Amino acid sequence: MKQTSQPPALSLGYGLIDSHCHLDMETSQDAIDDIIGSAKQCHVHTIITIGIDLASSQRAVELAHTYPGVYASVGIHPHSAEEGDDAVYQQLKELATSKKMVAYGEIGLDYAKQYAPVERQRLEFTRQLKIAKELELPIIIHDREAHEDTVHIIKEQGPFPASGVMHCFSGNMAFAHQVLDLGLYISIPGIVTFKNASDLQKVAREIPLNRMLLETDGPFLAPVPFRGKRNRPEYLLYTAAMVAELRGISIDEVARQTSRNTQQLFSLPDQGDEQ
């Protein structure tokens, strides 16, 4: 894909959905206003803002109720696993009753940085999978250098009728098949635009398009040509354009199908009906 800061064009007017973003990490309300406004101008009409601990989960729900087209998830990220306790989980369950709360996560395992002990991560991941199942919510999974244990725990606690997504997918095709066999979707991040992302590019090229979501993971992992800068939902166009190029299809087809997938997974309203 030609590296240019000029955003790719959507000719059919069918917008994109950023299935994973951290709006709560922006520094001010004005910054959030600007990000959401710019996203809509670039045809990113819906954003899922993600909870990673109690405070960010509360903020995610607040933002979802403030902005049309913004929806929330709640959960305890593996980095924050030591915050998990009965009182926190009770508060998350209460947040889960909010009208615009659509998923449970970001939960999972992170063996790369291990900000929390591995055993504690496994314990809290298991506890939260049970909560998500109880609440009948789709799960948003974080997996970093923990493929085997992540799959094992999900299998052990499953099945999950509400399905879920492996966010910011970082594995190869063999792992992609395992994830798909679990009934989960695969979310493609901006990393797919990086020159050295051959495994992810193969996954984006070969998995069924009806099992794919797109995400920014903003403010992290901005796609080329913004690599190294703060990521924004508007940059999702570049990820969609790369997926389209890899698959030899139009960006409009990528937008249409991935948006449908995201709407189906998270029970979102049709475009134009967002609240």
Domains in the chain, number: 1
Give me the mean pLDDT over the 104-123 stretch: 97
Q: How many residues does the chain have?
A: 275
Within a domain: 258: yes
Global pTM? 0.94
Q: What is the CATH number of the domain that holds 114?
A: 3.20.20.140
Phi, psi of 147 (to 5 degrees): -55, -50
Within a domain: 103: yes
Assess whether pLDDT exceeds 70 at residue 87: yes
Within a domain: 168: yes
Binding-site residues sit at 20, 22, 106, 142, 167, 217
Residue ranges making up the domain that contains 94: 16-266
Could you give the strand order of the β-sheet that contains 16-21, starting from the edge strand earlier in sequence? Answer: 16-21, 44-49, 70-74, 101-110, 139-144, 164-166, 185-188, 212-214
Tokens describing residue 240: 């969609």
Within a domain: 9: no
Give me the mean pLDDT over the 95-103 stretch: 96
Binding-site residues for a divalent metal cation sit at 20, 22, 106, 142, 167, 217
For 12-49, write each residue's pLDDT tens digit. Answer: 567 899 999 999 999 899 999 999 999 999 999 999 99
**The pLDDT of residue 13:** 62
**The pLDDT of residue 270:** 79
Within a domain: 50: yes
**The pLDDT of residue 273:** 53
Give me the mean pLDDT over the 231-248 stretch: 97
Q: Which amino acid is at 86?
A: D
Q: What is the percentage of the chain residues whose pLDDT exceeds 90?
A: 91
- Chain centroid to Cα 77, Å, comes to 13
For 153-193, write each residue's pLDDT tens digit. Answer: 999 999 999 999 999 999 999 999 999 999 999 999 999 99
Within a domain: 128: yes
Q: Looking up tokens 């309203």, which residue turns up?
A: 269
Q: What's the CA gap between 246 and 236, in Å, rounded? A: 16
Within a domain: 11: no
In degrees, rounded to 5, the angle at the alpha carbon of residue 190 between the alpha carbons of residues 65 and 70 is 10
Q: What's the CA gap between 17 and 239, in Å, rounded? A: 12
Within a domain: 49: yes
For 136-159, write each residue's pLDDT tens digit. Answer: 999 999 999 999 999 999 999 999
